[in-house]
Amino acid sequence: MKIQLLTAAAMLLLFTGCATTDDAKSSAGKDLKNVSFENLQKQAAKGSADAQVALADRFRTGTGVEKDETKSFECLEKAAKQGHLEAMVKLGGHLTKGVGVEKNEPKGFEWTEKAANNGNDFAMIIISDYYAAGTGVKKDEAKAFDWAEKVANSGKAIGMMQLAKFYSKGVGVERSPVRTVQWIRKAANMGDATAMNQLGRFYTTGGGGLEKSVLVARQWFRKSAENGERNGMFNLAKMNQDGIGGEKNIEEATKWMTQAAELDHVEAQHQLGHLYENGTGVEKDITKAIEWWLKAAEKGETSSQAHMANRYDSGEGVDKNEAKALYWTKKAAEGGHPFMQQVLGINYLDGKGLDQDVDKGVAWLKKAAVRGRTDAQYQMGNVHATDHYGVKNLEQAYFWFSLAKDKNVKAKNALSHISVEIKPDEMLRALEMVSEFKEKNK
């Protein structure tokens, strides 16, 4: 069972705020979200560290003011120098990532460590990650584990999940699936929604001392979902959709899929698009399907990008638009979608929507062919079988047709045709290439 790393979440906290201890120098319990930008400026100018942190957030995100990462950094620096723990953590993040200031990982580590030494739980977890990865400090897995253990032993779920990750990966400690699950369960029992989802995932496969139980998995996914965890919502939706761990319930599946999608769960957005496309659990609505696919596509979901490309190409549900079709085809191809790689290759070969470029066409078509698309393999054979594109190579043609022949009748027929023309030594080399390819990709 793969454990979702906390590093990304920890890094996100560098910029989006964090829970703190009861230290008077933190901003715990103080909400400045509704204070006007002008009033924040006045408070910050008077030396309010809380206002300086809130102002930094506004500048970083461009909320109510033009985005300015440099000013965001400057505000955080002022607050951090006053001993504001949240500011220290965020300042460390800016320095580590080079946001609004020249990247300086050691300096970023120093500021984060100051917050950690003053009891900030999230800072401790970030320091733990820094030691594990060697970010701004010499890599030291033992220290990484110690920091995580300190937070876990203080009763904080985030520390428990960090220890679970380290036991799963064997970071600073001997790898132990059983201890991994034990710490996840402790965090889940404390109400941590992420831990609930992870525990559900363990129950779906078994392992870590647990017997496989999709029934129990579904129960934990529900707890996670009801506590606002979008991954739990998505997993619960899929179980309801497929009837795993309980009765099939399309209404419940749609409900949780929608909630996960609204929380920007990319796969949920993609799946919700299909529900609207087919009218499953919702009234059929191609416009809404496309809206959800577009959201997922903009976040890099390649299947949704492929849907957008196909829709703009066909004009189904949207106005036909060759430029947008090509844009999404490229995005999906660059993201590794085999069929879109094939389509892009053909577009380059035939100059559809862009300047003809045989080299690029062959390169993209080959990517799809190598991924096992038999029609792409057949097309690669065609490209090399004649001089139409100026890259005739019977050895290559025989190789690609041979790969595709078992699942593609056209490739099988084409193979018999070029067998008359190809030289024996070329055929032998092609067959050797086929054997090597199959051995490598079996």
Model confidence at 2: pLDDT above 60 = no
* pLDDT computed for residue 193 by the predictor: 98
Which CATH architecture is the domain 340-440 placed in? Alpha Horseshoe (1.25)
Q: Among the listed ranges 30-34, 79-83, 144-148, which one has the minimum average pLDDT value? A: 30-34
What six digits make up the tokens of 242? 């497929």
* pLDDT computed for residue 8 by the predictor: 43
Which CATH architecture is the domain 1-190 placed in? Alpha Horseshoe (1.25)
Model confidence at 262: pLDDT above 60 = yes
Model confidence at 22: pLDDT above 70 = no
Query: In the chain, what is the greatest distance between 2 CA atoms, to the nearest angstrom?
Result: 88
Model confidence at 27: pLDDT above 90 = no
Ranges of each domain in the chain: 1-190, 340-440
pLDDT in tens, 185-216: 999 999 999 999 999 999 999 999 999 999 99
Confidence class of residue 16 from pLDDT cuts 50, 70 and 90? low
Q: What is the mean pLDDT of residues 375-381?
A: 98
Q: What is the mean pLDDT of the chain?
A: 93
**How far, rounded to the nearest angstrom, does the alpha carbon of residue 130 sit from its chain's CA centroid?**
21
Confidence class of residue 442 from pLDDT cuts 50, 70 and 90? confident
Quickly count: other Cβ atoms within 10 Å of residue 146's Cβ.
15
More confident residue, 201 or 25: 201
Confidence class of residue 100 from pLDDT cuts 50, 70 and 90? very high
What's the sign of the alpha-carbon dihedral 174, 176, 182, 183?
A: positive
* pLDDT computed for residue 31 by the predictor: 76
* pLDDT computed for residue 1 by the predictor: 52
Q: What is the mean pLDDT of residues 12-23?
A: 44
pLDDT in tens, 121-173: 999 999 999 999 999 999 999 999 999 999 999 999 999 999 999 999 999 99
Residue 335 in contact with residue 300, Cβ under 8 Å?
Answer: yes
* pLDDT computed for residue 398 by the predictor: 98
Compute the distance between CA of residue 245 and CA of residue 204 in angstroms, rounded to an integer: 9
- 1-190 and 340-440 have identical folds: yes
* pLDDT computed for residue 30 by the predictor: 56
Residue 311 in contact with residue 317, Cβ under 8 Å?
Answer: yes
* pLDDT computed for residue 15 by the predictor: 54
